[in-house]
Amino acid sequence: MLNVDLGDPNDKDCDGIPDHIDNDLDNDGKIDRTQDSDMDGLLNHIDEDDDNDGRNY
C-alpha cells in the first residue's frame, strides 16, 4: 500500500485546486493577492476582516 500526503484537501470554490495552493480562492477570476473586498486599503490576504463585518473568519 502506498501512502501519499495530499496536504490540505479543502477546496472552498470547488475548482479542483486545493485552497493551500489556489491563487483565486473565490474563483472570481482575480488573483486574491490583488483584491481589497471591503476597500479599506488592506489587501484581502493581509486583512483579517476582509469583508468588514467585524468578524475575522
- Tell whether 11 is covered by a domain: no
- Tell whether 28 is covered by a domain: yes
Any long-range contacts for 29-37 (C-beta under 8 Å, 24+ apart)?
A: none
- Tell whether 4 is covered by a domain: no
pLDDT value at 52 more than 60: yes
pLDDT band at 40 (very low <50, low <70, confident <90, very high): very high
pLDDT value at 9 more than 80: no
Give the residue among 35, 30, 36, 32 at the shortest CA–CA distance from 21. Answer: 32
- Tell whether 57 is covered by a domain: no
Domain count along the chain: 1
pLDDT value at 14 more than 70: yes
Task: In whole angstroms, give the CA distance from residue 35 to residue 53.
Answer: 17
> Among positive and negative, which fits the CA dihedral 17, 22, 23, 29?
positive
- Residue 46 domain boundaries: 17-51
7 phi-psi bin (left φ>0, alpha ψ -120 to 50, beta other):
left
